A and B are shown apart, each in its own frame.
Chain A
Amino acid sequence: MTAQPKERMPIAVRAYAAKAPRKKTGGQQWWRSGVEVKPSNFSLTFDTETTVDAAQQLRVGAYQFRERTSLLEEGFFYDPESLSAAELATLRRYATECECVLRTRSEFIDDVFFGLAFQRNAAFVGFNLPFDISRIAEGHDSARRNMRGGFTFKMSGDPQWPRLQVKHLSRTAALIRFAGVEGQRAKRSARKKKRYVPVRRGFFCDVRSLGRAVTGRPDSLKSLADLLETEHRKLDGDHGQELDDEYLMYLRGDVQVTWECFDVLRERYEGYQLRQTSVFHILSEASVGKACLKEMGVRPWRECSGQMTPGQLGVVMSTYYGGRSEVHIRREVRQVLYCDFLSMYPTVSALMSFWRFTIAEGVSRRDATAETRTFLDAVTLDDLARPEAWLQLAVLCQVGPDEDILPVRAAYDEGSQGLSIGLNHLTSRQPLWYTLADVVTSKLLTGRVPRIRRAWRFLPGPIQSCLQPIDILGNPDYRTDPAADDFYRRNVDLRSEVKRAARRATDEQTRRKLNAGQQAMKIAVNATCYGIFVELNVQERAKQAEVTFYGSDGMGTEVHLASVEEEGRYFHPLIATLTTGGARLMLGMAEALTEREGISWALCDTDSMALARPVEMEQAEFIARARRVQEWFEQLNPYERQRGLFKLEDANFGLDGKGGVTDELEPLYCLAVSAKRYVLFNVDADGRPVLRKASGHGLGHLSAPYGPDDAPVSILEPQVDLRDDLGVERWQYDLWYRIAQAALEGHPQQVDFDGLPGFEKKAMSRYAATTPRLARWFKSHNDGRPYREQVRPFGFLNAFLAKSRGQLGLPADSEPPRAVAPYDHDPAESLRYCFDRETCESVDPEQLKSYRQALAQYHLHPEAKFLGGDYVDTGELQRRHMEVAYVEHIGKEANRWEEQFHLGEDPQAQVVYGRSGRQEARFAREVRGTIRRLGVRRTARETGLSLGLVSQLSRGKAPLTARTLCALRCVGVESD
């Protein structure tokens, strides 16, 4: 494979940042660690209904106070200022008829929220709790300390009640807790006896988070209730309408359904037998994974002996890259076989025996340079079909890249600061660390052995002594002994057994129970094999603090940052990097096999690949060769009861007309635009595309311009389930249909959006003010308004896309409007209240893009990672050849990605540590030498830098910022 001409560019690698040790205060320990009392048997479930203006202020809410399952009190609460006299009369009458208690908001807070629930350590239950909490609060502020980045809500004017703190974690999860109360918690007598009185943090369960964690699906309350088959189901209702009996029944019904969902989810979670982790601590699937490890007595690696030094952790982190996602044949319709690897990460973990690392008492490291060189020289594609070869891959290599094909993280798109990862040719004067799996991939793809400078082999320590067997789903037949079994292998095998049992089950209850069980197993395996090992949470600080980061050279460099990464409990970056490296090797092997078989591939995405038929090849021949690729992988299958490691997806088979598939292969075609942006379809007898799988990438942020009922009749109805099989909404399906249709009709660039009903409406995104930074957008809007009329945290709003400065004919110093409006399903309705979030002035709809304008180039989206990926380019993409200008060290990728999405790219959201101290010293030497050679005045003249700055640089007194280095390039300072 010949490399393209070199492109000099900075690259980024992950670094490890050590926290400065906590200063010892010298005082006595006043907290009681590791002890938490469970909630009482009481629970308070509540929900609110709000106005539909920007403030979304409370109108009326409903609640249930229960002891276990028995209902002790049911009632409504309301904001007296939001209801008309007639509405209040309706509410009073309805409450009396239903024997419900009616309270004002403040009475509810003081008498029920705190007086009953808080005082009795009750569980607080709701669906999307942060939103409801924000509605019933009296005021808010930014949270401090551990909850920085979140909000603190003042719930009551009574100082005896604590504030509530809410920190948004993801779209479906938030940390919620009570703050400490003012003054002394313990009486004087208790303090004198040094008796501990803990802060009551409360127990909050957002049913949306728990539903996602336990069922693995992001669901609305309606679909969650359907999925869980609760006794009552969510009723349909329109928000914001005048209060009447129907509306109040809907609200009351929501609370009942929320409670029922909570009850079923809690019961289901209890069925997992994870007794050491309370259901109130389950925020995501990863929480379930961590609970599994805790239940088995697996001690976190960071608490074991046999630790790595921070420098070694820096090296390990520098080798970490995420899953590989690429398009190879761009904007060209090709017949494909779409295959995916069975449980990719658990499979790699099983092959490389990572469970042994997970349960080990630390890891040890030894030099393996010679043996790695020998291994690399000898290894062939067929050697990797032997599972034993994979046990050799727990190695990190320091490589001198010279046109090798390796993962490269860089800002490929010049117009964007965003970093993306591409498998490209890489040349670097500075040695870089990679996993052995990545190095082997390079050999498979280039045929050349990369130059290995050093290699470290990692070996697991002795098995931890306190491991406990667990009965999965509480069934002794599904016993897993962590010390004797490979947890991943055992679980995948057990899951296939449970799935088979569910299919055989004759009664509905058993089938449902078994299906819930196999879903739980899937979640447990996926959650324990990868994500938790690279969990890093970015904590923002009030002011910059000193952080020492360790990069690919293993040296520590001190920097001052306002955010710091904190490790998750099971942080073990070695397992994480080796796992994703192994997954990339799997895809690399598939790529090499396609080449060997004389076929091609259209796209790959983490664990799947679409094998593509060369234009001149017969279909039968292609299928036979693709099947050989598939079968080749069967040699590696680590499972006893599960066949098909590189298996065909359902999309490859014909449809049986009843929502299922036949056993017959149906020609499947692929049209891929860029990474993660593709559609797979069959072609029917009339030459129309029959979509089988489509991507919502780049569309998910837009609200649906029309509902399923308004879909154009000219578009073939979806033949498979939209959500479960296609993976998109109806309007997204229609868009992809038109893109595929245009490609089949021979005009792929001109996609016909006519007839798509909502496409002339203004493009709208849903947004929630989930962080103080986002909430500050509305500062000028809120100024002078009473609190109840202000835009508050977690409120929903719609954001509109403004046309570009050029399209609006604005001068260079003015910005297009940043248009937001109160949330409404209907963009036209929402648009009536649209205002600029900066100036608070209303926005002319003419300044906003329609769906048609916003999506005009969706099907042409460039693929900057590779050559030949520009807007109108089609066909096979070529790998770029990157030459490393310098290495920048970064922290967690996609930090605050939701916020970045709404705000636009924010370079500050990415934790950037910069260059290592050694690099910095080298640059400084070079800069000083150049300035001495040219003189201060001439350097300043030629670079445009100030005399003072150049003078300081010549004495090593000024920092070498990226801007300074850029300016110094014109006097020959090369920042490599």
Chain B
Amino acid sequence: MRYEPNDEDRRRERAYEGFGTREPRCSAPGCSETDWRLLTGSEPDELLCYEHLLMAQGRSPVELQHPAGRHNDPEFTVPFLGNLHRLMDEPKRDWPERTLRNPDGSPMLRAAACVRGVLDWLRLIIDRMLSWVPPLLEAVDERLTELSGPGWWRTLGLPEAMLQ
């Protein structure tokens, strides 16, 4: 079998090396951001997430994102907080270079960029909003089975409609 590498692995490793830790965390008080894509800095104890970096530089934490890319549709922008802007733009690194830059202004490539932009949004939303749920449900089920035994839902008196 041939492994098809994901370039994100390479970028992640490079980032960890730059941070000097495999467990990076924003050092700003009250911020718990740990996503490597959002952090900057080169000392493990002095990392900042993008939003806090913007604030530290006296800039606004809100930025304008180009969903289809600056070259494909320079006018359509959506305001996002800095960290989210970075997350939205991260998948663009994996876009084909011609689609992202569209040097000749091809309408086909512009259309491709729009579709890719929407897909990236949906993936991010699905990933951010739903990906944490299945492991949580599984962990809770395991714990409840430990506490109340198999068939725990029968002893909890849950409404019948929920058990269908």
State which residues 65-93 of A face B: CB under 8 Å: 65, 72-75
Q: Which residue of B lies closest to A121 (CB)?
A: B13
Please tell me if B10 contacts chain A, counting CB pairs below 8 Å. yes
Which of A35-43, A580-588, A592-600 lies at the interface? Answer: A35-43
Please tell me if A198 contacts chain B, counting CB pairs below 8 Å. yes
- Closest chain-A Cβ to B26's Cβ sits at a distance in Å of 16
Per-position 1/0 for A797-819, Cβ under 8 A of B: 00000000000000000000000
- Tell me which residues across on chain B come within 8 A of A73, comparing CB atoms: 1-3
Contact among B1, B10, B16, B43 for A37, CB-based, below 8 A: B16
Please tell me if A619 contacts chain B, counting CB pairs below 8 Å. no
Q: Which residue of A lies closest to B40 (CB)?
A: A195
Q: Which are the 5 A-B pairs with shortest beta-carbon distances?
A: A73-B3, A196-B42, A35-B20, A121-B13, A72-B3
> Is A197 a contact of B18 with CB atoms below 8 Å?
yes
- Tell me which residues across on chain A come within 8 A of B20, comparing CB atoms: 32, 35-37, 196, 198
Please tell me if B21 contacts chain A, counting CB pairs below 8 Å. yes
- Tell me which residues across on chain B come within 8 A of A75, comparing CB atoms: 2
Chain B: interface residue total (CB-CB under 8 A)? 19
A322 to B39, CA, bound (A): 54
A38 to B24, CA, bound (A): 13
- Tell me which residues across on chain A come within 8 A of B13, comparing CB atoms: 40, 119-121
> Is B42 a contact of A121 with CB atoms below 8 Å?
no
Q: Which residue of A lies closest to B7 (CB)?
A: A119
Please tell me if A115 contacts chain B, counting CB pairs below 8 Å. yes
Please tell me if B44 contacts chain A, counting CB pairs below 8 Å. yes
How many inter-chain contacts with C-beta < 8 Å in the A-B complex? 59
Interface of A is mostly: loop
Q: Which residue of A lies closest to B21 (CB)?
A: A37
- Tell me which residues across on chain B come within 8 A of A32, comparing CB atoms: 20, 42-43
Contact among A38, A99, A120, A121 for B1, CB-based, below 8 A: A99
> Is A101 a contact of B17 with CB atoms below 8 Å?
no
Please tell me if B9 contacts chain A, counting CB pairs below 8 Å. yes
A37 to B9, CA, bound (A): 15
Please tell me if A116 contacts chain B, counting CB pairs below 8 Å. yes
Residues of B within 8 A of A (CB): 1-3, 5, 9-10, 12-13, 16-22, 41-44
- Tell me which residues across on chain A come within 8 A of B3, comparing CB atoms: 65, 72-73, 116
Contact among A119, A195, A196 for B10, CB-based, below 8 A: A119
A36 to B44, CA, bound (A): 10
Please tell me if A200 contacts chain B, counting CB pairs below 8 Å. yes
- Tell me which residues across on chain A come within 8 A of B18, comparing CB atoms: 195-198
A38 to B44, CA, bound (A): 13
Q: Which residue of A lies closest to B10 (CB)?
A: A119
- Closest chain-A Cβ to B41's Cβ sits at a distance in Å of 8
> Is B9 a contact of A120 with CB atoms below 8 Å?
yes
> Is B17 a contact of A37 with CB atoms below 8 Å?
yes
> Is A198 a contact of B9 with CB atoms below 8 Å?
no
Q: Known: A32-B43, A35-B44. Contact between A200 and B17, CB under 8 A?
A: yes
Per-position 1/0 for A182-201, Cβ under 8 A of B: 00000000000001111010
- Tell me which residues across on chain A come within 8 A of B44, comparing CB atoms: 35
Q: How large is the interface on A (under 10, 10 to 19, 20 to 34, 35 or more residues)?
A: 20 to 34
> Is A35 a contact of B21 with CB atoms below 8 Å?
yes
A210 to B121, CA, bound (A): 47
- Closest chain-A Cβ to B2's Cβ sits at a distance in Å of 5
Q: Which residue of A lies closest to B2 (CB)?
A: A101
A72 to B5, CA, bound (A): 10
- Tell me which residues across on chain A come within 8 A of B12, comparing CB atoms: 40
Q: Known: A37-B16, A37-B20, A40-B13. Contact between A116 and B2, CB under 8 A?
A: no
A74 to B2, CA, bound (A): 8
Per-position 1/0 for A670-691, Cβ under 8 A of B: 0000000000000000000000
A99 to B1, CA, bound (A): 5
- Tell me which residues across on chain A come within 8 A of B9, comparing CB atoms: 40, 42, 119-120
> Is B10 a contact of A38 with CB atoms below 8 Å?
no
- Tell me which residues across on chain B come within 8 A of A65, comparing CB atoms: 3
> Is A116 a contact of B5 with CB atoms below 8 Å?
yes
A738 to B125, CA, bound (A): 81
Per-position 1/0 for A53-68, Cβ under 8 A of B: 0000000000001000
- Closest chain-A Cβ to B11's Cβ sits at a distance in Å of 9
Q: Which residue of A lies closest to B1 (CB)?
A: A99
Residues of A within 8 A of B (CB): 32, 35-38, 40, 42, 65, 72-75, 99, 101, 115-116, 119-121, 195-198, 200
- Closest chain-A Cβ to B153's Cβ sits at a distance in Å of 33
A197 to B42, CA, bound (A): 8
- Tell me which residues across on chain B come within 8 A of A36, comparing CB atoms: 20
- Closest chain-A Cβ to B64's Cβ sits at a distance in Å of 21
- Tell me which residues across on chain A come within 8 A of B43, comparing CB atoms: 32, 35, 196
> Is A121 a contact of B2 with CB atoms below 8 Å?
no
- Tell me which residues across on chain B come within 8 A of A198, comparing CB atoms: 17-18, 20
Query: Among the interface residues A101, A121, A195, which one has the most CB atoms of the partner chain B within 10 A?
Result: A121
- Closest chain-B Cβ to A95's Cβ sits at a distance in Å of 11
> Is B17 a contact of A121 with CB atoms below 8 Å?
yes
A337 to B30, CA, bound (A): 72
- Closest chain-B Cβ to A415's Cβ sits at a distance in Å of 56
- Tell me which residues across on chain B come within 8 A of A196, comparing CB atoms: 18, 20, 42-43
> Is A38 a contact of B17 with CB atoms below 8 Å?
no
- Closest chain-B Cβ to A274's Cβ sits at a distance in Å of 18
- Closest chain-A Cβ to B124's Cβ sits at a distance in Å of 23
8 A-B contacts, Cβ less than 8 Å apart? Answer: A32-B20, A37-B20, A37-B21, A101-B2, A119-B10, A121-B17, A196-B20, A196-B43
> Is B42 a contact of A195 with CB atoms below 8 Å?
yes
- Closest chain-B Cβ to A177's Cβ sits at a distance in Å of 14
- Tell me which residues across on chain B come within 8 A of A101, comparing CB atoms: 1-2
A101 to B4, CA, bound (A): 12
A72 to B12, CA, bound (A): 18
A119 to B9, CA, bound (A): 8
Q: Which residue of B lies closest to A36 (CB)?
A: B20
- Tell me which residues across on chain A come within 8 A of B1, comparing CB atoms: 72-74, 99, 101
- Closest chain-A Cβ to B40's Cβ sits at a distance in Å of 8
- Closest chain-A Cβ to B10's Cβ sits at a distance in Å of 4
A32 to B9, CA, bound (A): 23
- Tell me which residues across on chain B come within 8 A of A37, comparing CB atoms: 16-17, 19-22
Q: Which residue of B lies closest to A198 (CB)?
A: B17
- Tell me which residues across on chain A come within 8 A of B10, comparing CB atoms: 119-120
Q: Which residue of A lies closest to B16 (CB)?
A: A37
A35 to B44, CA, bound (A): 8
- Closest chain-A Cβ to B102's Cβ sits at a distance in Å of 24
- Closest chain-A Cβ to B20's Cβ sits at a distance in Å of 4
- Tell me which residues across on chain A come within 8 A of B19, comparing CB atoms: 37
A120 to B20, CA, bound (A): 15
- Closest chain-A Cβ to B44's Cβ sits at a distance in Å of 6
> Is B42 a contact of A38 with CB atoms below 8 Å?
no
Q: Which residue of A lies closest to B45 (CB)?
A: A35
- Closest chain-B Cβ to A123's Cβ sits at a distance in Å of 12
Name 7 extra pairs, CB < 8 A, besides A74-B1, A195-B18.
Answer: A37-B22, A40-B9, A72-B1, A73-B2, A120-B13, A121-B16, A196-B43
A72 to B2, CA, bound (A): 7
- Closest chain-B Cβ to A280's Cβ sits at a distance in Å of 14
A74 to B1, CA, bound (A): 7
A101 to B42, CA, bound (A): 38
Q: Which residue of B lies closest to A197 (CB)?
A: B18
A65 to B17, CA, bound (A): 21
> Is B5 a contact of A38 with CB atoms below 8 Å?
no
A196 to B41, CA, bound (A): 8
- Tell me which residues across on chain A come within 8 A of B42, comparing CB atoms: 32, 195-197
- Closest chain-B Cβ to A181's Cβ sits at a distance in Å of 13
- Closest chain-A Cβ to B21's Cβ sits at a distance in Å of 7
A869 to B1, CA, bound (A): 67
A196 to B17, CA, bound (A): 9
- Tell me which residues across on chain B come within 8 A of A99, comparing CB atoms: 1
A198 to B44, CA, bound (A): 13
- Closest chain-A Cβ to B148's Cβ sits at a distance in Å of 30
A115 to B2, CA, bound (A): 13
- Closest chain-B Cβ to A29's Cβ sits at a distance in Å of 12
Q: Which residue of A lies closest to B41 (CB)?
A: A195
